[in-house]
Structure 1
Amino acid sequence: MFETLKELPGDKILALMQLYRDDPREAKIDLGVGVYKNADGVTPVMKAIKDAEKQLWEAEITKTYVGLIGDPAFSDAMIKLVLDGVVERKAVASAATPGGTGAVRQAFDFARMANRNVRVFVSTPTWPNHLSILKHMEIETVPYRYFDEETCGVDFDGMMADLAAAKPGDVVLLHGCCHNPTGANLNMAQWQEVVALLQKTGATPMIDIAYQGFGDGLDDDAAATRLVASSLPETIIAASCSKNFGIYRERTGLLMVVSQDTSRTAINQGTLAYLNRQNYSFPPDHGARLVTMVLNDDALRGDWVTELEETRLSMLTLRQQLADELQAKTGSNRFGFIAQHRGMFSRLGLSEADVLKIRESHAIYMVGDSRINIAGLNSKTVPVLADAIAQVVKS
């Protein structure tokens, strides 16, 4: 029967990574892969995580399963981190997942169980895996305008016009902070308008929050998620620990389902446990346990917050440096938006031909839509990138 299988399209970012690896040029720069790197090009293990691992190694006496939804202490710690008490704890059902991607997949499954004909409204653009998973699951997607190619900001009027077509039983997928792939974010006044529109349409918000702490700080980055969760009858939240705890390979995420009608929580919780059982039974625990230890121990948490803040500020410094270099080299403020974007990514507004020219002539690798990973830069490579961009936009 295997002869019926057909070759599937490859992941463009993974293909780009292979091109980068195969490039023999020593001065090549990788701005494609969505992983945080320090100035030395290393994705470090955070001090708090290393210390927690040492403590866990000394104390752990079993590797047995912890339950279908993972360790309840992990859920409690993450719910507090993301929501900080804006809704009652008893209003939140939750389940540990293999990374933020696992949370996203389970969230779509949860929504489809609630409404077999669910439609998911998705920003243009969005993280490519959102669309890939939805297509694989054969869930109808409805695009809504988001990124303005001219200003490299948010097309808010277009977004609101498109979301007005949502209805009860639909899901509206939103990025909690640090929009991937654009870096362009709503301000709080705009978030309040989105909430008002969702209240009017009756659609259910789903928030993917994968970069809390990478934008404007832990609380500021969670402010929109907290506003939505506290203002609407139901909210789905997919949270990732990969970036802000630096534990990518540990695959640590949490799916939260908020229902203001707390009589629904038990059914929501049972549904999440059922979905975990159908997909992978018990979620991984190692990363979740480390996160729990860090969040619940004052000393570990203090180290984590300090290092996370250093990471955030380093990316803001690189953003400002790149914006300043480009202004100096192009004689215009065309790229001033880079300093205003937040998170790891910015979309530069270059054509695919420009991106190819930069790759071929300067060994600088970015995604075809001109998304760059700011964390792939350092103070020495920023001028190199600025020179390359200036050359293509002037030609």
Structure 2
Amino acid sequence: MFEHLNEQPKDKILALMQAFKDDPREDKIDLGVGVYKNAEGVTPIMRAVKQAERQWWEQETTKAYTGLAGDPAFSDAMIGLVLGDAVARDQVAAVATPGGTGAVRQAFDLIRMANPSARVFVSDPTWPNHLSILKHMAIETVMYRYFDAESGGVDFAGMMEDLGQMRAGDVVLLHGCCHNPTGANLTGPEWQAVIDLVNAKGVVPMIDIAYQGFGDGLEADAAATRMVASGCPEVLIAASCSKNFGIYRERTGLLMAVAQERGLHAVTQGNLAYLNRQNYSFPPDHGARMVSLVLTDDALRVDWQAELEDVRNGMLALREQLSSELRRLSGSDRYGFIAQHRGMFSRLGLSPEIVERLRAEHGIYMVGDSRINIAGLNRDTVPKLAQAIIEVGA
């Protein structure tokens, strides 16, 4: 049987990580991997999470399964964090998942169960795993214009023109905040225009929100998701705790399905639990437990939010520094959009040839489409990156 298997394409980001590891240069810079790092190049355990782990170590009495949907306290805490009071709790079906990726996969599975002919409209560009999973599941994918490389902003006119091709029953995948890989986000009025369009078309929006708290703050970053949840009859939301709680390896995520028609809650919840059973039975609990402890303990939550704000402001400062340094060296505001982007990533608009020169000549590693992880920089490496970009003629 195994002789019929084909080689699968290598993951470009994982290959980039290995190339960086093998590079002997001491002054090399890793801007490829999508993981938050502090100024010392470390992905730290957040203080509140560490304290929650100490508390849970004392309290935990069993390692028995929680339930197919995970611990209800985790779902309640995350629904509160992401949705606030935008919709009533009994309008939201939810299951814990292995990371945000697991939530995305389960959402696509639910779409395929509910409407096998649904097409999923995806931004160009998007997180590569969106496309990989959709292709693996043989779900028809339609790309819509999103990023304008010339301005570094959103091509909203192109986006709306492409979304005009949606049909009733289709799904449109949107990034709740801190768009990956571009860092360019829709404005409030643009979000409202998208809501009006999907409602007119009879389309279901699906939101991937993986960076809440990394952009403009916890509440501001959730605003668009809440607009969509309260403004559309049905919404799917895949949320990740990897970044804002720093628990990458704990694989902690939540899939939410919002239905304004209250009679749909029970059947939707049952189908989400069914999908969990078919894929991995019971979701992991440790990371989910830490999140629920942090969000429901006043002291832990205050400390977590303070540290998250430090992380967010640190990345904003690096954006401002890089934008200013490039402005000083180039004499133009060509890279001013870097300061306007939000989250961990920005797409610089460099050609693959320039990206390769930065790697070969300067030891600067970024994804081939010129996406950089802002958190891979620090105050000392920003000038080196800016100087290298100018030297290669970008």
- Same-fold call, TM cutoff 0.5: yes
Displacement, 1:393? 2.2
Displacement, 1:149? 1.3
Displacement, 1:169? 1.1
Equivalent residue number for residue 346 of structure 2: 346
- Once residues 10 and 170 of structure 2 are traced to their aligned partners in structure 1, the CA distance between those partners, rounded to angstroms, is 29
Equivalent residue number for residue 130 of structure 1: 130
- Among all aligned residue pairs of Structure 1 and Structure 2, give the percentage whose two residues are the same amino acid: 71
Equivalent residue number for residue 148 of structure 2: 148
Q: Please list the CA deviations of residues 56-86 of structure 1 after superposition, one character each: whole Å capped at 9, or x if unmatched.
A: 0001000000000000010000000000011
Q: How does 1:5-16 map to 2 (within 5 A)?
A: 5-16=5-16
- Once residues 285 and 365 of structure 1 are traced to their aligned partners in structure 2, the CA distance between those partners, rounded to angstroms, is 35
Equivalent residue number for residue 75 of structure 1: 75
Q: Please list the CA deviations of residues 165-190 of structure 1 after superposition, one character each: whole Å capped at 9, or x if unmatched.
A: 11221000000000000000001011
Displacement, 1:374? 0.1
Equivalent residue number for residue 179 of structure 1: 179
Displacement, 1:15? 0.3
Displacement, 1:262? 0.8
Displacement, 1:126? 0.1
Match of 1:393, SS state, is: coil
Equivalent residue number for residue 46 of structure 1: 46
Equivalent residue number for residue 304 of structure 2: 304
Q: Please list the CA deviations of residues 127-178 of structure 1 after superposition, one character each: whole Å capped at 9, or x if unmatched.
A: 0000000000000000000001111110000000011111221000000000
Answer yes or no: is 1:64 the counterpart of 2:64. Answer: yes
Q: How does 1:275-354 map to 2 (within 5 A)?
A: 275-354=275-354
Equivalent residue number for residue 233 of structure 1: 233
Displacement, 1:282? 0.1
Equivalent residue number for residue 222 of structure 2: 222
- Once residues 393 and 302 of structure 1 are traced to their aligned partners in structure 2, the CA distance between those partners, rounded to angstroms, is 46
Equivalent residue number for residue 170 of structure 1: 170
Q: Please list the CA deviations of residues 203-230 of structure 1 after superposition, one character each: whole Å capped at 9, or x if unmatched.
A: 0000000000000000000000000000
- Once residues 391 and 25 of structure 1 are traced to their aligned partners in structure 2, the CA distance between those partners, rounded to angstroms, is 19
- Once residues 204 and 7 of structure 1 are traced to their aligned partners in structure 2, the CA distance between those partners, rounded to angstroms, is 35
- Once residues 159 and 200 of structure 1 are traced to their aligned partners in structure 2, the CA distance between those partners, rounded to angstroms, is 16
Equivalent residue number for residue 118 of structure 1: 118
Matching residue's letter, 1:58: E
Equivalent residue number for residue 202 of structure 2: 202
Displacement, 1:322? 0.0
- Once residues 227 and 167 of structure 1 are traced to their aligned partners in structure 2, the CA distance between those partners, rounded to angstroms, is 22
Displacement, 1:392? 1.5
- Once residues 91 and 152 of structure 1 are traced to their aligned partners in structure 2, the CA distance between those partners, rounded to angstroms, is 37
- Once residues 270 and 43 of structure 2 are traced to their aligned partners in structure 1, the CA distance between those partners, rounded to angstroms, is 37
Displacement, 1:106? 0.1
TM-score by length of 2: 1.00
Displacement, 1:118? 1.3
Match of 1:134, SS state, is: helix
Displacement, 1:20? 0.1
Equivalent residue number for residue 371 of structure 1: 371
Which residues of structure 2 form unaligned runs of 5+?
none
- Once residues 85 and 230 of structure 2 are traced to their aligned partners in structure 1, the CA distance between those partners, rounded to angstroms, is 9
Equivalent residue number for residue 159 of structure 1: 159
Equivalent residue number for residue 20 of structure 1: 20
Match of 2:392, SS state, is: helix
Equivalent residue number for residue 247 of structure 1: 247
- Once residues 372 and 183 of structure 2 are traced to their aligned partners in structure 1, the CA distance between those partners, rounded to angstroms, is 10
Displacement, 1:47? 0.2
- Once residues 28 and 306 of structure 2 are traced to their aligned partners in structure 1, the CA distance between those partners, rounded to angstroms, is 31
- Once residues 76 and 54 of structure 1 are traced to their aligned partners in structure 2, the CA distance between those partners, rounded to angstroms, is 22
Displacement, 1:198? 0.9
Equivalent residue number for residue 29 of structure 2: 29
